[in-house]
Amino acid sequence: MSAKRPLDDAEPGAAAAESSRSRSRSTGGAGTDGTVEPYSSYMDVHSELVSLKTMPGQQAVLRTFKRAQLTAQTRTLPLAVQQIAVRLVSHLGAHPAVDSSQALGGLVQALARAEPSVRCEIYQALAQLHELKGALHAAAVAEETRAALERCVQADLNHAQHHVRCSSLAVLPLAGGGTADVFDTLCRYTADAHPKVRQTALAALLRQHMLGRRLPVGLYDGCVAATKDDFEQVRLAAVELLWAVCGRYPEHAVGRHRQRASSTVRLLDDAFVRTCDMINDSSAAVRQRACTILGRFRHVDGGLLAQTFSKQVMSNLKRHRARGGHAGRGRGARGGPAQGAIPTPPGDVDVDSDDVRLLDSGAAGAFVHGLEDEYQEVRDAAIESMGELSAASADFAAKSVDFLVDMFNDSSDRVRLCAVRALAAIGERQPVALTDEQLAIAQSAMKDASRRMRQGIYAFLAVALLPRPSSLAQLADAFKASLDRYPDDQPAIFRVLQALGRSHSAMVDTPFARSLLGLSEHYLSREPRIDDVVYAGSVILIMNTAADARRALESVLPDHVYSHLSYLRDKYPGCLPQDIIESVPARLPFVRRMLERPHVDGGIARLALDDRSEAAARMFSGLQHVLERVCSRKEEEGRPDGGCWAALDRYVAGFGRLAQDDGSAGQARQAVLRYARLVGCARSMQELCGDVAGRGRVVELAAAVMWDAYSLEARTLGLDRKSLAALRYLRLFAHAAWLHVHPRAQYDARVVARMLDELAQRCRRVEQLARAFDVPELRALSNAVSKDGSLGAAEVELFIGCFRPLPFALSVAQCQYATACFEYPDEAVRRTVEYNHVFPLTIGVQARVAWVARRQSVRLVARLPTQQTVVYRPPDEALKPLAAMHWALACDSLAVSLPLGSGESTSVAVDVAVRHEVDVPWSDAFIVRGDMVPLAYAVETYYKDVADERFQGVHVVVSDQPHTVRVSPVEFRPPPSAHTRA
């Protein structure tokens, strides 16, 4: 066995290649004569792809782009290297310094000679370049390049590998050619042998429709055939395209040929029947999509809509033929059955034969099947479509009420809530007449544990019509039980009673009033307590009837009922009619005088609110002027003096009090107020940095300024670039002040060096963001960084002494503040919950989150009895969009592990927070948390625990009040075993 050769004895070719690679890495891929060389390994290209965000300048971007383009065109390299090089070219092509036509030409040149896997990557890169920069527009592409691209696409459409055909089909509409030719080609490939190709062709057609292209009506037959495809994704695209075609040509006539009889129907009606037939699909996703699309057919024939609630096949589905010897296709000479055909038993219907008209049978029972589906997503989609169609057809709305009320008994709370909302929407357009059975179902739904479900039931009953007077009395008793069971529902119940009184004036007669208020015909009744909510609800129901009905009850109602009206009007504003004073009898003039006085919330309180608003506007104008003076950098104004800072403190205190009392202060004003407070803290830090005794206070202020600046940036939407630069400039100052006052001897030298390096990084980022301002102290600090890449103590001290804040949000017209409000799901969360420390405690949380841009940034922060904070990320499906940047949070599986308790009851507080990325994780972990690292501590371990995992982002609480759950520990006793029982 031969011994291993040393490195010097290696082959000269390998050594030359190694030296060439090392020289290429050292020169950034540039050769000795200025040319670039291709990448030689996958990791080299991958590292460039990862470091795109931190690529320093345009020259580096152009050099990397040339190397990636050359790598993609080099066929001798491995396929994985060519593929990732194409991906790098597509990412760099979006950079402003790169010419899109040059990137397009290089990719097309590489496309002509590439392998199939690389060709697919090139097609994806071409589509991405067109999305970002419109690279394939006719004016921006050379004729040779466009011709070469068209040849490659046409050749790849017939490629043997399906993924190459899919990629070329995606680029076909962008490659050029006439619109009709493109549509013909795409329609032809909807019948391809491979399902992925069929799906891609249908998706490309649908994309053309979304871009405003006019689809041909001849595409309809291909869509109908695609709805019966074996592949699920093909059927999903086909049902969407079916609606796109019929929406473009709704009145187009479609011929039906059955039993030698021809008939024509509208394309809209035929597409509606085809979509109804998709509700019987084997895939839940297809059924859900079909139920969703049904809601778009608002102008379909009323007879077809009526069939969607009937499971029975219509009697005219089978065409009866006159007796006689009429020969036809598949039949004998005398009209007898074809030889070898299996006869259909009498009484049955052969749905596969031509005797059954698909137009009459496809829509039968469509919504019934959708409401009975085993998947709640399908049931949700069916209910939403029924609500949309009810808005267009009053007859359909009347038929759908019974089915929607039956959905109150569904096992899914989401389906029940969706049904309630659909019924409430129907009732807002026309009152919903309920039967006794439907009313009983609605009353049982009022006992639901979900508060949102109960609120929906109340909204539905407010627009309902009851069948008889006894039903109104029965419903009033149910409301009394709900007030006892759920006291928080009192405002919603009062609104329902108000609406019922307006719509059922004829039912509120003398016997009903006596029964509701407990009045006797022969004895004087005892005056009830004025704060009794059941009595208040009864008076609201009676007093909201018509004026004639109220006058008819003057001799029945006792005087104390009228004397309570002024109190009820002020206690429950909006629940009594405006003309209530006309219902007071003439024998009670003092009650009339009490009702004639102005409302508490409509007179003096409104005037006081206007005064506070005017005072707040004047105070904010002064605060703006002083803050502009403090942040000004004009030479003629000079630096602000002590009087200017005192005025700033005075305006901050005054406007802070007015903004706290007055809700009219806008979010832009609130943001400026918070920034003014941060400026005052920064001024205090600047004064205390030179005092040895005040260094502890500087550390506290630095942590407060750092955290408050992050909180303001995370919660305020609408900040412009200058405002963001001002906040980051404050965090840079807090970082520098913290470093200046800390004795560096007590820290590891690596820690100090790391924090100085991150201060330099932060300085460079702030300088790029604040280019619109002329900041001499920041420019001096940046020059010190650029010399050797680090910062010293002298430069930091000089920066602190010359610091002056930047102007903030002075041009912001509107901005919004992220907030969250909890909705208690049931009454159980208000009671004490028993838990065992062996098992996690499951908490249900329901909240409304407003003005949060991304649902992925929402977090739930739980504070345990041990004062420990645990952060949870709710799943994406727990956040449903309500409006733009408004979300409904419903998380029922928040598992909290609690420690072993001492036996006493305690509480767990849950807050809604927003995650915001930090500038530099290492330094901010020290400053905000106040962490102290001794010399013996392993710095690498600390950095891994804190920076990599825990402090990549701050979690800013946006809920005003936490959701508190009282818990009590219990002892865990395992079940007795067989030996124990023995």
Of 391, 450, 374, nearest to 416 by C-alpha is 450
Burial code (b: 16+ CB inside 10 Å, e: under 16) for 839-855 equals eebebbbbbebbbbeeb
Residues 6+ apart with CB under 8 A from 706: 731, 734, 735, 924, 927, 928
Q: Is residue 558 predicted with pLDDT exceeding 80?
A: yes
Distance of alpha carbon 514 from alpha carbon 504, whole angstroms: 16
Distance of alpha carbon 519 from alpha carbon 558, whole angstroms: 9
pLDDT tens figures, 719-772: 888 888 889 889 989 988 888 887 666 666 777 777 777 888 888 777 766 666
**Residue 691, burial from CB neighbour count under 10 angstroms (0-12, 13-18, 19+):** exposed
Structure tokens belonging to residue 465: 């019509």
Distance of alpha carbon 610 from alpha carbon 625, whole angstroms: 23
Sheet harboring 886-896: ordered strands across? 819-822, 841-850, 886-896, 879-883
Q: What is the pLDDT of residue 56?
A: 56
Answer yes or no: are the C-beta atoms of 199 and 234 closer than 8 Å. Answer: yes
Long-range Cβ contacts of 783-791 (<8 Å, 24+ apart): 785/760, 789/760, 790/753, 790/756, 790/757, 790/760, 791/756, 791/759, 791/760, 791/763
pLDDT tens figures, 828-881: 445 667 777 677 888 888 899 998 988 889 999 998 888 788 899 998 888 988
Distance of alpha carbon 427 from alpha carbon 784, whole angstroms: 71
Distance of alpha carbon 105 from alpha carbon 117, whole angstroms: 19
**Residue 320, burial from CB neighbour count under 10 angstroms (0-12, 13-18, 19+):** exposed
The stretch 189-215 carries a mean pLDDT of 87
Distance of alpha carbon 97 from alpha carbon 101, whole angstroms: 12
Of 37, 104, 98, 108, nearest to 65 by C-alpha is 98
Burial code (b: 16+ CB inside 10 Å, e: under 16) for 385-422 equals bbbbbbeebeebbebbbebbbebbebeebbbbbbbbbb
Q: Is residue 913 predicted with pLDDT exceeding 90?
A: yes
Q: What is the pLDDT of residue 291?
A: 92
Coil, helix or strand at residue 680? helix
pLDDT tens figures, 697-722: 888 899 899 999 999 999 988 788 88
Taking the CB of residue 452, how many other CB atoms lie within 10 A of it?
Answer: 19
Structure tokens belonging to residue 290: 């079909």
More confident of the two residues 340 and 923? 923
Distance of alpha carbon 228 from alpha carbon 278, whole angstroms: 9
pLDDT tens figures, 500-533: 999 999 999 889 988 888 888 888 778 888 888 8
Answer yes or no: are the C-beta atoms of 575 and 495 closer than 8 Å. Answer: yes
Distance of alpha carbon 667 from alpha carbon 647, whole angstroms: 23
pLDDT tens figures, 438-464: 999 999 999 888 888 899 999 999 999
Q: Confidence band (pLDDT; 50, 70, 90) for 611?
A: low
Answer yes or no: are the C-beta atoms of 504 and 466 closer than 8 Å. Answer: yes
pLDDT tens figures, 468-508: 889 999 999 999 999 888 888 888 999 999 999 999 999 99
Residues 6+ apart with CB under 8 A from 477: none
Q: What is the pLDDT of residue 338?
A: 39
Residues 6+ apart with CB under 8 A from 463: 424, 427, 428, 431, 432, 499
Distance of alpha carbon 462 from alpha carbon 460, whole angstroms: 5
The stretch 929-939 carries a mean pLDDT of 48
Answer yes or no: are the C-beta atoms of 534 and 568 closer than 8 Å. Answer: no
Answer yes or no: are the C-beta atoms of 331 and 337 closer than 8 Å. Answer: yes
Q: Confidence band (pLDDT; 50, 70, 90) for 635?
A: very low
More confident of the two residues 165 and 931? 165
Taking the CB of residue 790, how many other CB atoms lie within 10 A of it?
Answer: 13
The stretch 636-652 carries a mean pLDDT of 71
pLDDT tens figures, 376-426: 999 999 999 999 999 888 889 988 999 999 999 888 888 999 999 999 999
Q: What is the bridge-based pairing of β-strands 886-896 and 841-850?
A: antiparallel
Q: What is the pLDDT of residue 679?
A: 92
The per-residue pLDDT of the chain, averaged, comes to: 77
Distance of alpha carbon 69 from alpha carbon 100, whole angstroms: 13
Q: Is residue 260 predicted with pLDDT exceeding 70?
A: no
The verdict on pTM exceeding 0.85 is no
Taking the CB of residue 963, how many other CB atoms lie within 10 A of it?
Answer: 25
End-to-end CA separation in angstroms for the chain = 74
Answer yes or no: are the C-beta atoms of 422 and 329 closer than 8 Å. Answer: no
Coil, helix or strand at residue 252? coil
Q: Tokens 């320093």 correspond to what residue?
A: 56
Residues 6+ apart with CB under 8 A from 579: 547
638: left (phi over 0), alpha (psi -120 to 50) or beta: left
